[in-house]
Amino acid sequence: MTLSVKDISLRFGGVSALTNVSFDVQEGQVTGLIGPNGAGKTSLFNVVSGIYTPTSGQVFYNDHEISKLRLDQINRLGVARTFQNIMVFPELSLVENVMIGRQSRTKAGALSSIFRTRKERNERSEAERRSIELLSYVGLDKKKDELAKNLPYGEQRQLDIARALATDPKILLLDEPAAGLNLQERVSLKALIKKLNAMDYTIVLIEHDVKLVMDLCSRIVVLEYGNKISEGDPQQVQSDPKVIAAYLGSGGE
């Protein structure tokens, strides 16, 4: 067991974004997190990645409590995320965007860069090579020198994934990675996630594309109004009347 969410509650003034949510993420699996709009999915990511401190409850990563850590510390432990709202570095090129992700896995300090030591130069060119490789995962290597702000919406989301991967995470939290992609592009995304999963990344996926979630995930957690209303494998969840009422609808897509 890698990630374990225990009794998490999160309140903003009167608004209860999460209420006593608990679940575990198994190593090497793709876990889905679904639920209606405003159910608290993103908030849960924000708690796990350290952006929000939970009002109560804890998050454990490999039996190590991380709910009190800063987000950069959590990232360094191996938890990376993408954002639902675009959060690329607009004024940096694509390759630079991804290279920022390499920061936590590189070491050179200000002094060694002032003296341009060989080690520093090697490390830097290695980081660049790796970044371009990661860009090719999401099909953006040809645009590597473009500024991120000039990318169309869909591609900015892809860039976000490459950037998160650059931190060499063990767990990857993806928040609606398919939003803004057309069907064909969703197919590539699906392939990418499968590939990553095969490469031993543990993945947590928030998506409103139910088909994508059902195809990819071995386990699914369903939230509604901040409460966990269901959990299980795709079959179980899909046939859970509570989930159908709250989220899937009886018609089905």
The least CB distance from residue 85 to Mg ion, in Å, is: 9
37-56: contacts with Mg ion (CB under 5 A): 42
Applying CB under 8 A, among 133, 179, 227, 238 the residue interacting with another protein is: 179
46-65: contacts with another protein (CB under 8 A): 46, 49-52
Q: Show the site string, 140-159: x = touches Mg ion by CB under 5 A, - = not.
A: -------------x------
The least CB distance from residue 232 to another protein, in Å, is: 19
Query: Under 8 Å CB-to-CB from 169, ≥6 apart: which residues?
Result: 75, 78, 79, 80, 201
Q: Does 191 bind another protein (CB under 8 A)?
A: no
The least CB distance from residue 52 to ligand ATP, in Å, is: 8
Question: 244-253: long-range contacts at Cβ-Cβ below 8 A with a sequence spacing of 24 or more?
Answer: 246/35, 246/36, 246/222, 247/34, 247/35, 247/36, 247/222, 248/210, 253/210, 253/211
User: Among the candidate windows 25-33, 56-64, 235-243, 244-252, which touches another protein by CB under 8 A?
Assistant: 244-252
83-102: contacts with Mg ion (CB under 5 A): 84
Q: Does 100 bind another protein (CB under 8 A)?
A: yes
212-241: contacts with another protein (CB under 8 A): none
